[in-house]
């Protein structure tokens, strides 16, 4: 525990001294290095004519909303000397991750800027794939306090900022307003109501969630665990998963998965299945990300348009908890156009870029103040909702550790076995504790 703090502190000092050097050095380093990119920090005015034209490549998952195109268009208009080439990555998060690993491990410079799931920055920082952004943040005077703290923390590793929050996500409880008057506030209430109301208004199921063996199941599990006061890895990077609170959380999850009010194939449910069943009017309640608000409202494909409400997820013994999701933006450490890359990152994750993402793509901004803007409020009913903003603010991050994929894999395997009834909640917690400790010690 001491060791951890010490390391972080050491790294912070280091970063600060680095910054100092960057700011107080000769002219070249005041310009933060890279000469050929050489854009000024304002980025949008007259000085641009003499500058060399640079092209940067931006990699991000398939985007069907058009927000990415709009962001690039707007950025290029403001920065005529920078062209942005959009490289689509697979929609499947895992597949993108693996492709990035392949590329970065061969020190590929063909991508400059890339989007990263909130769970990647620590891993990519530790693997030396990503560029520290502190000197840019400092030089441009960006106030990280404007962002939701959880999203900022997800982008940090050893005290340095490696990723800028682009948009955020948190789990929500959806309910059918034509069946339910007041949504349940606790898991127990949810179970009672789901069992009672199942079958009303043509529904087949009381509740939908994600229990397939994949990353989404981990996010569901974290919500159960955190709402009962449990933790997986604590702030000192110690594994604390084997606790009565965690066991209680897992037990609630097991109870729900094995109840009669969820689909019998809940173990193969991911977000897509949840969404399909929900818009087909098959369920009374569902846990999903904010995006389902807009798919439910689409009159063409949805049978429940107009009858969908949402609330914070039910409370356990320790209140309600929603897992932090969303995406960050990072810069490839081997990028040859770091300056231009940063300009683009700054634009996308800044107020203007996030407003475009919210309006065009329906993505929740990570800058709290933006929820006051009418333009954002009008983009989606959710954004005008205080309860939603509060949920985002308090969203629980998944463990921030460079070996997160390993931690997630251990959780997926053990929880899957527990949900399938092969082992008990106690055994699952004990196994996870043991395996995670071994993994951390390696």
Partner 1 sequence: MNKRAGIGFYIFLVVFVFFVMFPFIWVFLTSIKPPGEIFNNFNWFTADPSLASYENAITNRPLFRYMWNSFVVSTLTTLIAIGFASVAAYALTRLPIRFKGVILGIILAASMFPQIAIISPIYNFVTAVGLRNSYMGLVIPYITVSLPLAIWILATFFQKIPWELEESAKLDGASPFQTFRKIIFPLAAPGVFTTGILVFIAAWNEYLFALTINTSDEWRTVPVGISFYQSQFTIPWGDISAATVLVTIPIVILVLIFQRRIVAGLTSGSVKE
Partner 2 sequence: MKFQLNEKQLGYAMVAPALILVILVTLWPVAQSFYNSLFDYRLNDPSRSERFLSSNMDLERYANDYFYLSRDLEALEGQAPDPDDAAAVAEISQEFEAYHAELLEMDGLAEQYEEVEGMIASFTAIADRDLKYASVENDWAEGFKAFLDDASEQLTTISQNTENEEFSVTAGNVAGSLDSVNTAVIESNFIGFDNYQRYLTDGRMWQSMGNTMLFTIVSVFAELVLGLMIALLINRAFVGRGIVRASVLIPWAIPTAVAAMMWGFLYDGQTGIVAHYFEQFGLIDDASVLLSTGAGGMFSVIFADVWKTTPYMALLLLAGLQTIPGSLYEAAEVDGAGKMQQFWKITLPLLKSSILVALLFRTLDAFRVFDLIFVLTGGGPANATESISIYAYITLFSQSNFGAGSVLSVIVFISVAIISTLFIKFIGSDLFAGKTGR
7 binds partner 2 (CB under 8 A): yes
Among 63, 123, 132, 245, binds partner 1 (CB under 8 A): 63
User: Cα separation of 435 and 442, whole Å?
Assistant: 11
Beta carbon nearer to partner 2, 42 or 94: 94
87 binds partner 1 (CB under 8 A): yes
Beta carbon nearer to partner 2, 78 or 282: 282
x-or-dash string of contact with partner 1, 106-125, rule CB under 8 A: x-x-x---------------
> Would you call 214 exposed, middle or buried from its count of C-beta atoms within 10 A (0-12, 13-18, 19+)?
middle
Among 68, 231, 275, 296, binds partner 1 (CB under 8 A): 275
Q: Stretches 51-59, 331-339, 343-351, 353-361: which one binds partner 2 (CB under 8 A)?
A: 331-339
Q: How many CA atoms lie within 13 A of 55 on its CB side?
A: 5
Beta carbon nearer to partner 1, 247 or 356: 356
Q: Stretches 4-12, 72-80, 147-155, 229-237: which one binds partner 2 (CB under 8 A)?
A: 4-12
User: Cα separation of 324 and 68, whole Å?
Assistant: 22
Cβ at position 356, least distance to partner 1 in Å: 18
Q: Stretches 83-91, 152-160, 236-244, 363-371: which one binds partner 1 (CB under 8 A)?
A: 83-91
Bridge partners, residue 57, by sequence: 85
Among 15, 39, 79, 93, binds partner 1 (CB under 8 A): 93
What is the per-residue DSSP string for 86-104?
Answer: EEEE-SSHHHHHHHHHHHH
127 binds partner 2 (CB under 8 A): yes
CB 331 within 8 A of CB 345: yes
Beta carbon nearer to partner 1, 88 or 196: 88
Element (H or E) spanning 117, and its range?
Answer: strand 113-117
Given the structure tokens 């460079």, which residue do they identify? 402
260 binds partner 2 (CB under 8 A): no
Which tokens belong to 30? 């005041």
User: Cα separation of 330 and 129, whole Å?
Assistant: 10
369 binds partner 1 (CB under 8 A): no
61 binds partner 1 (CB under 8 A): yes
Among 123, 138, 169, 223, binds partner 2 (CB under 8 A): 123
Tell me the number of residues near partner 2 by CB under 8 A.
63
416 binds partner 2 (CB under 8 A): yes
Among 90, 94, 244, 421, binds partner 1 (CB under 8 A): 90
422 binds partner 2 (CB under 8 A): yes
274 binds partner 2 (CB under 8 A): no
User: Cα separation of 222 and 398, whole Å?
Assistant: 7
3-state secondary structure of 172: strand
271 binds partner 1 (CB under 8 A): yes
239 binds partner 2 (CB under 8 A): no
291 binds partner 1 (CB under 8 A): yes
Spatial CB neighbours of 115, under 8 Å, sequence gap ≥ 6: 59, 60, 61, 89, 166, 327, 328, 329, 330
Cα→Cα distances 363→63, 211, 292, Å: 12, 24, 12
Cα→Cα distances 134→6, 25, 271, 302, Å: 20, 16, 35, 45
Q: Quick one: which of 107, 135, 136, 133 has its CA closest to 121?
A: 133
What is the per-residue DSSP string for 8-68?
Answer: HHHHHHHHHHHHHHHHHS-HHHHTTS-TTT---SS-SSGGGGGSPPEEEEEEEE--SSSHH
Given the structure tokens 């948190």, which residue do they identify? 170
DSSP alpha helix (H) spans, 258-318:
271-279, 292-297
Q: Residue 268: which of partner 2, partner 1, none does it interact with, CB under 5 to 8 A by kind?
A: partner 2
Beta carbon nearer to partner 2, 131 or 392: 131
Among 9, 20, 23, 301, binds partner 1 (CB under 8 A): 301
Give the interface with partner 2 as residue ranges (CB under 8 A): 2-3, 5-14, 17-18, 22, 25, 28-29, 32-34, 94, 97-98, 101-102, 105, 107, 109, 123, 126-128, 131, 135, 212-214, 263-268, 273, 276-277, 282, 333-334, 338, 402-403, 405-406, 409, 412-413, 416-417, 419-420, 422
């Amino acid at each position: 525990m001491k060791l951890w703090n010490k390391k972080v502190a050491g790294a912070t000092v280091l970063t600060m001294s680095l910054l100092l050097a960057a700011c107080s050095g000769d002219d070249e380093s005041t310009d933060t290095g890279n000469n050929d990119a050489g854009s000024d920090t304002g980025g949008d005015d007259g000085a641009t004519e003499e500058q060399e034209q640079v092209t940067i490549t931006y990699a991000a998952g398939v985007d069907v909303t058009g927000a990415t195109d709009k962001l690039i268009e707007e950025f290029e208009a403001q920065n005529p000397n920078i062209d942005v080439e959009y490289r689509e990555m697979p929609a499947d998060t895992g597949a993108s991750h693996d492709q990035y690993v392949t590329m970065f491990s061969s020190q590929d410079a063909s991508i400059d800027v890339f989007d990263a799931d909130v769970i990647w920055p620590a891993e990519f920082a530790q693997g030396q794939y990503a560029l520290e952004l502190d000197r840019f943040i400092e030089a441009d005077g960006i106030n990280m306090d404007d962002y939701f703290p959880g999203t900022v923390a997800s982008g940090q590793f050893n005290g340095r900022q490696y990723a800028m929050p682009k948009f955020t996500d948190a789990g929500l409880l959806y309910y059918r307003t034509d069946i339910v008057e007041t949504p349940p506030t606790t898991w127990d209430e949810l179970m009672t109501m789901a069992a009672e109301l199942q079958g009303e208004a043509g529904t087949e199921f009381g509740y939908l969630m994600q229990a397939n063996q994949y990353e989404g199941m981990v996010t569901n599990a974290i919500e159960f665990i955190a709402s009962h006061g449990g933790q997986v890895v604590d702030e000192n990077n110690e594994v604390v998963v084997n606790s009565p609170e965690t066991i209680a959380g897992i037990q609630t999850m097991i109870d729900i998965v094995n109840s009669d009010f969820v689909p019998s194939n809940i173990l193969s449910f991911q977000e897509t299945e949840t969404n399909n069943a929900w818009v087909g009017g098959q369920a009374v309640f569902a846990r999903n990300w904010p995006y389902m608000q807009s798919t439910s409202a689409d009159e063409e494909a949805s049978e429940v348009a107009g009858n969908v409400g949402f609330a914070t997820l039910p409370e356990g013994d320790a209140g309600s908890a929603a897992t932090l999701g969303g995406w960050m933006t990072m810069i490839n450490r081997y990028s040859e156009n770091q300056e231009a890359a940063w300009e683009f990152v700054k634009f996308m994750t800044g107020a203007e870029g996030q407003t475009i993402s919210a309006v065009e793509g329906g993505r929740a901004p990570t800058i709290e103040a933006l929820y006051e803007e009418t333009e954002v409020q009008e983009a989606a009913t959710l954004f005008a909702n205080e309860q939603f903003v509060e949920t985002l603010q308090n969203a629980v991050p998944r463990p921030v550790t460079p070996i997160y994929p390993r931690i997630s894999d251990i959780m997926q395997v053990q929880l899957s076995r527990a949900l399938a009834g092969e082992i008990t909640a106690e055994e699952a917690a004990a196994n996870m504790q043991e395996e995670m400790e071994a993994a951390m010690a390696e």
